[in-house]
Amino acid sequence: MNEAINPNFAQKATSVKIKLFSVFLLLFFIKAFSQSDYVMGNIANENGDKLPNTSIVNLRTEQVVISDGRGNFVIAAKASDELRVARQGYERKNLILNTEDFSKSINVKLFTIPQEIEEVKLTFRPTGILKKDVTRLNPPPRVVALNGAMNLYMRTPPNGVTPTATTPSAFRQTNLSAGQLNILGLASAIGGLIKKAGESPKTTANYAEKQEFYKRVKASVNMDYYLGYGLDEYDFDIFLAYADESRGLSKNYRNNFNKAAIESQLKMAFAEYLKTHNFSKKLSEG
């Protein structure tokens, strides 16, 4: 009887061992697969608007999912995985997952990429009204006056040294006064030094000093003399800038204003100015 029972008992024991081993394998695989889980989240922009069609990539597994119409997504991952969230028109964002991210929904906020506006260049568009269009094209009167004066100055021929006839030293008469002290010349030189010491040093005037000097000249000189040739106030401003450049009026007289000397210099400069300018037509039209 006992011998008949023993084989059955051994068979049952073997079957129990197989079942226990199967359960152990099942628990092992459950434990292994439980290391990978799923994380849920929602994508929105900086204004709180939900962002559908956003790509979420698990950089470890290279799995890619797309957010739904409300910005929701679910992706397989585990702690320490890195997710990359990207959508066209927004800055890309990377997330490092931790254990807390698997127990709640992750809220991801994407920021819009700033767009640079192209530079717009405005060009002149004529209206067809000549009087209106000319005012937009012409520079200020002062600029025109200075440019005109500089152009005239550049066209003025240089003041070259004219040759003078001299007697060769071999044919000159003996100078009896050579080596003697010239009292009159010495006195004249001393007087010139004293006068020069009393005057202000002559320096080139800056723009503000020139404008102040021009105003004083226009208030002092006889304008009728120039108006009689057909010049108006604008034409006189151009001529005054020309005379200043060619004869250094502001440099010589702005600190030592001499009305008679300035008028004399202006008339001499005007005689040269008339050689290249004709105001008779303008006078007849006026």
Structure tokens at 196: 């020069």
Give the domain 36-113 fold: Immunoglobulin-like (2.60.40)
Show the CA angle centred on residue 207, arms to residues 204 and 211, nearest 5°. Answer: 105
User: pLDDT tens track of the chain, all 286 residues?
Assistant: 444 445 666 666 666 666 656 655 555 554 444 445 899 999 999 999 999 999 999 999 999 999 999 999 999 999 999 999 999 999 999 999 999 999 899 999 999 998 766 666 666 677 767 666 666 666 677 777 777 777 777 776 666 555 566 666 666 666 655 555 556 666 666 666 666 555 556 788 899 999 999 999 999 988 888 888 888 888 888 989 999 999 999 989 989 899 999 999 999 999 888 888 876 656 565 5
Q: Which of these, 219, 250, 218, lies nearest to 235 by C-alpha position?
A: 218
CA distance 51 to 69: 7
Any residues with CB less than 8 A from the CB of 199 and at least 6 apart, and which? 256
Please tell me the pTM assigned to this model. Answer: 0.33
> Considering just the CA atoms, what is the radius of gyration of the chain in Å?
51
Q: Where are the domains of the chain?
A: 36-113, 126-156+204-286
